[in-house]
Amino acid sequence: MKPKVVWLQGVTCNGNSHSFVNLSGLDTLLQRYEWLYHPILPSSLSLMQLWDAKCDILVIEGGAKKGWQKGEGELEKLFLHLAQKAKKVVAVGSCAVYGGVFKEFDDTICGVLFDGENKSRYYDMLADKTINIPGCPAHPEWIAFALEAENPSLDSFHRPKELYAYTVHSGCVRNEYFEWKIDAEDFGTKEGCLFYKQGCQGPFTHGSCNKILWNETASKTRVGTPCFGCTEPDFPKQDLFSTKTYMGIPATMPLGVPKRAYLTITGIAKSFHIPRLTKRLLDED
């Protein structure tokens, strides 16, 4: 018997559904489950038929909003009805995990277990069976991991440590520039670190974007765009393309690094001039 999956959408942009269908080896994964309902994949049931369905895994994408109508009923009621029967609930994307982008416009929207950083009204009911896969969107491999995983080790936001114990900084190809405190002067270049001026949140954001690459090829930081911190409960922030500083010092330190330690190390690193790191890597004019 294949496990039965229902994928519901709350208040969402569809981004995680689209991310999921980009999974390498999607066909193989789909064949391992019986898909009772998915908004964009062939499904055996309609939304209204789900009330009588027995699902093993309930995937929820998008934020939860009280009284929000979907089909002919209130989505929250259907969600809770299915969640109580499911063996596992997977919250996919930052809106389903914390409320995310939509919460910026409607503060009543929340995630499955969390409302921003705080526990949501569903927490006590669903905490023991819910895996959170935040991201905007979540990486398809992360979603597949959550479907397949049995009792993975989770952090305090119920994120699998296998995926989120790292920071996005881990594996970034710009680490050499970070070490020597050499800024990226612009976006989209191969050279320089994006943390100091360009808004990169990789050093304090949990995620494996530079370990499990997007499209098996790249990541934001690898192509010269700052990490936006989309796996964290305070996402989205403002002014994502510039680093908030106080008198030139980044407002947020790399994860767990005391400010004095950071300033001491970076002050020393910046004292040296490393000619190789100030040149273009490929197109030297």
User: Sheet of 4-9: strands edge to edge?
Assistant: 34-37, 4-9, 57-61, 88-92, 130-133
- Kindly tell me which of 260 and 276 has the beta carbon lying closer to other proteins: 260
As a whole number of angstroms, the distance between CA 197 and CA 217 comes to: 25
Give the closest residue to 92 by CA, choosing from 142, 154, 155, 50: 142
Minimum Å gap between C-beta 279 and other proteins is 20
The token duo for 128 is 């023991």
Question: Does residue 276 belong to the site contacting other proteins (CB under 8 A)?
Answer: no
Q: Which of 267, 274, 278, 279 binds other proteins (CB under 8 A)?
A: 267
Task: Note whether 246 and 206 are within 8 A (CB).
Answer: no
Say if strands 249-250 and 245-246 run parallel, antiparallel, or are unpaired. antiparallel
Minimum Å gap between C-beta 241 and other proteins is 18
- Kindly tell me which of 73 and 254 has the beta carbon lying closer to other proteins: 254
Alpha helices in the chain, H assignment, sequence order: 15-20, 26-31, 75-85, 94-98, 100-103, 123-126, 140-148, 161-164, 175-179, 259-270, 275-278
Q: Which of 42, 156, 256, 260 binds other proteins (CB under 8 A)?
A: 260
- The SS3 call for residue 152 is coil
- Kindly tell me which of 21 and 249 has the beta carbon lying closer to other proteins: 249
- Kindly tell me which of 105 and 272 has the beta carbon lying closer to other proteins: 272
Binding residues for other proteins restricted to 220-259, rule: CB under 8 A: 245-249, 251, 259
Minimum Å gap between C-beta 55 and other proteins is 48
Minimum Å gap between C-beta 181 and other proteins is 11
Q: Which of 150, 272, 282, 283 binds other proteins (CB under 8 A)?
A: 272
Total residues binding other proteins (CB under 8 A): 15
Query: Tokens 């039965």 belong to which residue?
Result: 4
Minimum Å gap between C-beta 256 and other proteins is 18
Say if strands 4-9 and 34-37 run parallel, antiparallel, or are unpaired. parallel
Minimum Å gap between C-beta 277 and other proteins is 15
**Residues binding other proteins (CB under 8 A):** 245-249, 251, 259-260, 263-264, 267-268, 270-272
